Amino acid sequence: MNTHLRPLFRRTSVRLAAFAVLTPALGLGAMVALPSSPALAYSCPLNYLCTWHDTGFMGTQWNFNRGGDFWWYVGAGPNDQISSYVNHTQEYAYIAKNCPADSQWTWVGTTASNNDLTKAKWPNGTNMNDSISAFAIGTASDFDVDFPAHGDRTHGGC
């Protein structure tokens, strides 16, 4: 192998960006879309609320899709460990600081995400990072102050 030959571009993203710019000029008629985050684009299945241990959709990933308009405990692993999320459902998702949920909860719009919960706050002003204990998934029309109801504790609810 000739050690004097070097690739034109060392980074894959730079090569893909150059390809995306040059493709129309070459008449190939294709565009390359670079995802903002590999985790956001590839690892969150449809109809799930996906959460990650670290900011930037990195680290251990936990996916939730339990519906029924009830609050559910996130489980021992993700409890107070979530630092980013994606709502990849067609419904509202809800997250709460405590389980059972109290006044420290918020809703997440359909297809909404937050890649850095260190900058997010609960209604009382405390930091949201590493403090989520419950979730719910329900229809958008169900949104009101009393929603969601508390789930059955024997089935993992709050």
Q: Which distant-in-sequence residues (6+ apart) come within 8 Å of 43 by Cβ?
A: 50, 57, 61
| Residue owning tokens 């980013």 | 84
Confidence category of residue 23, pLDDT binned at 50, 70, 90: very low
pLDDT attached to residue 154: 55
> Rounded CA gap, 14 and 85, in Å?
27
Assigned fold of 38-155: Gamma-B Crystallin; domain 1 (2.60.20)
Helix (H, G, I), strand (E, B) or coil at 20: helix
Q: What are phi and psi of 141, to 5 degrees?
A: -75, -15
Percent helix, strand, coil in the chain, to 5, is 20, 30, 55
pTM over 0.75: no
Q: What is the tens place of the pLDDT at every residue in 48-62?
A: 999 999 999 999 999
For the chain, domain boundaries: 1-34, 38-155
Q: How far is CA 2 from CA 5, 7, 117, in A?
A: 6, 12, 48
Note the pLDDT of residue 70: 81
